[in-house]
Amino acid sequence: MAWSKHNTRLAFVGAGVVGGSLAAALSRAGYSVVASASRSFASAVELARWADGCVAYETPQQAADAADFVFLTTPDDAIPLVAASMTWRAGQGVAHCSGAASLDALDAAAAQGAVPGAFHPLQAVSSIENGSKSIRGITFGIEGGENMRAFLSTMAADLGAYPIFVRSEDKPLYHLTGVMMGGLLTTLGAATATLWEELGYTREEGIRALMPMMRQVSVNLSSSGLPGAVAGPYARGDVGTVRKHLEALSERAPHVLPLYCELALVGLPFSVEKGTLSEDRAEEIRVLVERYMRGTAD
Ligand SMILES: NC(=O)c1ccc[n+]([C@@H]2O[C@H](COP(=O)([O-])OP(=O)(O)OC[C@H]3O[C@@H](n4cnc5c(N)ncnc54)[C@H](OP(=O)(O)O)[C@@H]3O)[C@@H](O)[C@H]2O)c1
């Protein structure tokens, strides 16, 4: 029997922020989330609070036995260990939510006849409350055989999200795009906000000053796309302004200089593509930036 929203009982093993967020969102979307389990019973109880009719169990095995389809939402490293510690029924579905791990993390379950899948929410999730509200409009990276893909892509659509299929060999590249846009963009925000301490302000004041810009950049990228969203002194070809930036960073925040230079160089082709920066001016900027990167500026 093919899994569907109407005939499939779901369980979550690993009651953290992603498990809880998905359980809450799926329950709201009309799916039957019937069971939860975790390392600690308290976490299983907390997840169950977010899904109507969900029962918290003491062990992963009890939760899996109550369900047709099990999400293993533990940390990545625990997925193969938990899968191997359990007894699976032939035809039972089992999916993890890791963006970096592939289906082989579920080999032990598949060896017993369970059907493996991956359902990765391309989103930064830090709490069940916020996470369950942040799923609409996101993309889910899905792996699995034909039935698994059909079920999980319908599930993504039922959550108001976009399903995409990712090949196993592409998983690390796929995942790092999310890490760059999430964790590493946060690092960029942290590095730039902390520069405000050099101006005599706190980094919290820096965050308040810079975040409207971060929000607008995401609006511009979504609405204008590439290269339309590219703007600023690089897109204008303002070499003098770029030189002032490089001098200021060299003198006052040399630890940020390599980050600034790398981003500047990666961005140049998009400004050329937009047509606002000539090839010659782009080359002039590239040479200047590389001199500062190598520490050979005058
Ligand atoms: N957070 C994100 O932004 C994000 C985004 C996309 C995908 N993911 C993926 O989602 C998965 C879960 O991540 P998360 O952020 O939700 O982590 P998390 O909040 O740390 O939750 C993981 C949960 O797994 C439980 N657990 C740990 N070891 C276990 C074991 N051996 N048996 C059963 N339960 C165990 C923990 O238990 P207790 O609370 O009971 O101690 C914890 O509640 C990971 O594969 C991660 O890569 C995360």
DSSP symbol at 201: S
Q: What is the pTM (predicted TM-score) of this model?
A: 0.91
Task: Name the band, by pLDDT with cuts 50, 70 and 90, for residue 1.
Answer: low
> Going along the chain, which residue ranges are E strands?
9-13, 32-37, 55-56, 69-72, 93-96, 115-121, 139-144, 162-165
Nearest ligand 1 atom to alpha carbon 40: 40
Residue 14 Cα to ligand 1 middle (Å): 6
Strand 55-56 with 69-72, pairing: unpaired
Query: Could you read off the pLDDT of 69-108 as tens digits, one per residue?
Result: 999 999 999 999 999 999 999 999 999 999 999 999 999 9
Tokens of 79: 């997925």
Question: How many CB atoms sit inside 10 A of residue 52's CB?
Answer: 11
Q: What is the mean pLDDT of the chain?
A: 97
pLDDT of 8 > 90? The answer is yes
Pocket of ligand 1 (CB under 6 A): 13-19, 38-40, 43, 60, 73-76, 78, 82, 96-99, 120-121, 123-125
CA of 19 to the centre of ligand 1 (A): 7
Q: Where are the domains of the chain?
A: 9-166, 174-294
Which pairs count as long-range contacts for 247-254, CB under 8 Å and 24+ apart, including other chains?
249/292, 250/292, 250/297, 252/198, 253/195, 253/198
Model confidence pLDDT, tens digit, residues 171-222: 999 999 999 999 999 999 999 999 999 999 999 999 999 999 999 999 999 9
Residue range 98-156, pLDDT digits in tens: 999 999 999 999 999 999 999 999 999 999 999 999 999 999 999 999 999 999 999 99
Q: Which CATH superfamily is domain 9-166 in?
A: NAD(P)-binding Rossmann-like Domain (3.40.50.720)
